[in-house]
Chains A and B, each alone.
Chain A
Amino acid sequence: MTDSPHKNGTTRRGFLAGTAVAGAAAITGTVARADAPDPAITEVQPWARYLGEGVDARPYGTPSEHEAHVVRRNVEWLTADPISSVNFTPIHELDGIITPNGLCFERHHGGIAEIDPAQYRLMINGLVDRELIFTLEDIMRFPRENRAYFLECAANSGMEWRGAQLNGCQYTHGMIHNVMYTGVRLRTLLEEAGVQPEGEWLLAEGADASAMTRSIPMEKALDDCMVAFKMNGEALRPEQGYPVRLVVPGWEGNMWVKWLRRLEVGDQPWHHREETSKYTDLFADGRARRFTWEMDAKSIITSPSPQKPISHGPGPMVLTGLAWSGRGTIPRVDVTIDGGINWVEARMDGPSWDKSLHRFYYDFEWDGSPMILQSRAHDSTGYVQPTKDELREVRGENSIYHNNGIQTYAVAADGSVENVEIA
């Protein structure tokens, strides 16, 4: 981590260390004093003296070099190779609710398809009145809409079924991103083709080297699904399905077929690999749930967290995290710093959109003693995020997907944070 502990003694936080009390009201009127003038102020810094780069230097801007550690990361031992694999969004470094395009986690089954938009075609076939072909330009002539939705891989937190394993919410919870999509309602395109009455299912297929397919019930297809071509205002990134991907709000990420090339209407599901061999939930009795499309409500504290320890010592601090539900909004998140003996309601901030990430904060005085942190989401249906043990009680330990159990962190007196489980 780049977070180097502040020098002790001269910081404002250090001064407060002796006086702060957990849960106490904010201390007012006591401000730290410096022992010596701060050279960051008294010396003319190079950026204040010399001219910087001009407007032609960065035609497509990138983050400051000091943010170079904020990148997607892979867990090498997870998969046989990096082509059919996954990397993780650095959620511990982000704030607000929108994920920057270059940091949205990637999951490919046959690598990134690099598609020439001039050669892009979308086919609708099957039980429709007219089997149709659209170019990208055709799609962009239909009425558009803009919606922010989270996309969570069904396997997010899947490595944690049997206990605390990976130290960092990037790895345990980073198979998620939240993006503002611009696109056409899937319903609009299906109506253009004319879905026949027996057309109760839709097969979405990708143009990549895995030719990804998923069956989607027509009720969902006609509800809020989108055929998207922009993310956060710009063209989809190749790794997110350029030029066109499917958006299936609130449902597991694998269904959001990237590089979308075909939509087939049928009268029954296809039971393809990603809805039988994969993305099914094996229970302890050896039988498996299938078609578990909706993502249950979940939350995660992103800071402090194992990759984002507390670097400032006791005193005022910000605890923050993300919460989401595939069934609606998140009106409430509870937070505990004593391992669940006592809880407080966190402060929700920022837009509260349906099936979108929500940001929560808990602003408090840390007394410098060890803490055990958890967050617990409530969604707009009243559903409450379960503990990991409550979830295991129902699901057993052989599951991979749909682990929405409450995450626990142990914070040590030095501010370091560890992924743990408690009883």
Chain B
Amino acid sequence: MSKSLKLLLTAATLTALGAAASAQTYGLGREALPEEVAAWDIDIRPDGLGLPVGSGSVLEGEEVFLQLCASCHGDFAEGAGRWPPLAGGQGSLASDDPLKTIGSYWPYLSTVWDYVHRAMPFGDAQSLSDDEVYAITAFLLYMNDIVLEDDFVLSNENFTDIEMPNADGFYMDDREESPLWGPREVCMTDCAESVEITMRANILDVTPDDAAAREARESGGEEAVEDAATEEAAEDPNAIDMELAEAGEGLFRQCSSCHQVGDGAQNRTGPILTGIVGAPAGLVEGFRYSNPMQAAAEEGLVWTPEELHAFLENPRAYMRGTRMAFRGVADEADRAAIIEYLRSVE
């Protein structure tokens, strides 16, 4: 769109839209049912359009947040690892090191409600109740000092009363006012006396190493692993079912944002899972387990396939207070595939 954005709102545009409404139709598709629209029309706008009836308090929000969100965003919404901080940073935007959080940067509260509801928790989207989303939003307001009382209750009634600190921090694209806009004369010859290199990417050395990646792929030898496994399968009843493990590898994607396995694996939000099948619980070095997990470990819990099945089916029902914020894998065959995959990883 090369014309000014201001044109968007002119009467001429509206006339054009009116004309479009009366254009040719093909009679394809079908009318959407109200229940269908209600199921998908989940968006919330700054004026409150779309907000469902409901409410939640800061304290209720804290409880849900610690259960479902803190593993990535930190107990105080300060961020964990490289996952985004959600609080802090107010007054930092004009500094050399701006910290863009809900409190310091986001212009509208509706964006928080909408996003938490549609996309969080990461890996279990659209699983929160409306009241839980109100509660988490209230907690995030509190952690950002936008509401100061810990008995604050956010609801559809008072939602649009909240003004975000950076509400006036944005303005429409004004590139047309920029000195770089529009035709400019360029110099083609003798444009400078000399040039000097002022910075080199090599010094930083943060570029991924293509050669190393290639070697890893070449020596990785998926085929070799498969061949060896097939040979063993004939004799060994404990041999890994590679087909099942492969299916499990795909399913493991839902775990991999928190758990790493194999070479170079590190503890992330969850512990390394290499060799977990058959291993005693709570022993991954450097990982901070929940109290109930530590207690179970002390009582001698071993992650047999049976125990893993039970845990993975519904983690929080299996172990109240586990830090694993994951809904579980309902399908038994899927759990078996994941466990087989974990057995296959060395």
Whether A287 pairs with B81 at a CB distance below 8 angstroms is no
Cβ B26 vs Cβ A141 within 8 A: yes
A353: interface (CB < 8 Å): no
B10-18, B52-60, B305-313: which lies at the A interface? B10-18
Q: Tell me the complex Cα distance, A378–B182, Å.
A: 10
Taken together as a complex, chains A and B put the C-alpha atoms of A383 and B198 apart, in Å, by: 27
B48 to chain A, nearest CB (A): 12
Q: How far is the CB of B35 from chain A (nearest CB, A)?
A: 12
Question: Roughly how many angstroms separate A68 CA and B172 CA in the complex, as a whole number?
Answer: 45
Cα distance A384–B180 when bound, in Å?
Answer: 8
Known contacts A217-B5, A268-B45: does B21 contact A418 (CB below 8 Å)? no
Task: Mark B190-208 against chain A: 1 for CB-CB distance below 8 A, else 0.
Answer: 1110111111111010111
In the assembled complex, the Cα of A378 lies from the Cα of B253 at a distance in Å of 44
B211 nearest CB across to chain A (Å): 7
Select the stretch in A13-21, A44-52, A390-398 that faces chain B: A390-398
- Scan residues 274-325 of chain A and give those whose CB is less than 8 A from a CB of chain B: 276-277, 280, 282, 284-294, 296, 306-307
Whether B62 sits at the interface, judged by CB under 8 Å, is no
Q: How far is the CA of A419 from the CA of B41 in the complex (A)?
A: 47
Chain B positions within 8 Å of A290 at CB level? 170-173
Are the CB atoms of A273 and B111 closer together than 8 Å?
yes
**In contact, B21 and A271 (Cβ under 8 angstroms):** no
| Chain A contacts for B122, CB-based, 8 A | 83-84, 110
Q: Which of B42, B100, B110, B208 has the most CB of A within 10 A?
A: B208
Q: Chain B residues with Cβ under 8 A from A11's Cβ? A: none
Q: A192-B28, A210-B125, A213-B43 are in contact. Are A383 and B100 (CB under 8 A)?
A: no
Query: Whole-angstrom distance between the alpha carbons of A159 and B207 in the complex?
Result: 11
Is B106 an interface position by the 8 A CB rule? yes
Known contacts A338-B195, A394-B180: A192-B26 contact under CB 8 Å: yes
Against B, the Cβ 8 Å flags (1 = close, 0 = not) of A181-213 are: 000000110111011111110010100011101
- Residue in A closest to B193 when the chains form the complex, CB atoms: A341
Contacts of B26 in A (CB 8 A): 141-142, 188, 192
B14 nearest CB neighbor, chain A only: A197
Chain B residues near A394 (CB, 8 Å)?
178-180
The residues in B between 37 and 55 inclusive whose CB is less than 8 angstroms from any CB of A are: 37, 40-47
Q: Digit string of B60-101 for contact with A (CB within 8 Å is 1, else 0)?
A: 000000000000100000000111000000000110101010
Number of interface residues of A (CB under 8 A): 120
Complex contact A138–B8 (CB within 8 A)? no
Of A53-61, A98-106, A145-153, A166-174, which binds chain B? A166-174
Answer yes or no: B25 CB below 8 A from chain A CBs.
Answer: yes
Residue on A with the closest CB to B200? A420
Residues of B within 8 A of A217 (CB): 1, 5, 8
A125 to B42, CA, bound (A): 12
Q: Is the CB of B187 within 8 A of A68?
A: no
Complex contact B107–A276 (CB within 8 A): yes
A219-B253 contact, Cβ under 8 Å, with A384-B186, A390-B180: no
Q: How far does the alpha carbon of A188 sit from the alpha carbon of B208 in the complex, in Å? A: 45
Say whether A83 contacts B93, CB under 8 Å.
Answer: no
| Cβ contact within 8 Å between A410 and B200 | yes
Contacts of A307 in B (CB 8 A): 210
Whether B32 and A131, one on each chain, are in contact in the complex, defined by CB atoms closer than 8 angstroms, is yes
Stretch from A34-42, A71-79, A229-237, A357-365 contacting the other chain: A71-79
Chain B residue, CB-CB nearest to A384: B184
Residues of A within 8 Å of B267, CB to CB, are: none
A165 engages B206 (CB within 8 Å): yes
Whether A192 touches B25, Cβ cut-off 8 Å, given contacts A73-B213, A290-B170, A343-B188, is yes
Contact between chains at A418 and B114 (CB < 8 Å): no
Known contacts A69-B214, A290-B170; can you find 13 more A-B pairs with CB under 8 A? A1-B211, A74-B208, A141-B28, A194-B21, A219-B13, A220-B1, A282-B93, A288-B169, A294-B175, A381-B2, A390-B180, A398-B93, A418-B201
15 contacts between A and B (CB under 8 A): A73-B208, A109-B119, A111-B253, A123-B40, A125-B40, A133-B31, A192-B29, A200-B14, A219-B16, A277-B111, A288-B170, A341-B191, A342-B188, A342-B189, A344-B188
Instruction: List the 6 closest A-B pairs by CB distance, nearest first.
Output: A382-B183, A286-B94, A339-B195, A286-B93, A419-B201, A80-B82
A interface residues (Cβ-Cβ under 8 A, vs B): 1-2, 68-69, 73-77, 79-84, 109-111, 123-126, 129-135, 138, 141-142, 163-168, 171, 187-188, 190-192, 194-200, 203, 205, 209-211, 213, 217-220, 222-223, 261-262, 264, 266, 268, 270-273, 276-277, 280, 282, 284-294, 296, 306-307, 327-328, 334, 338-344, 372, 376, 378, 381-384, 386, 390-391, 394, 397-398, 410, 418-423
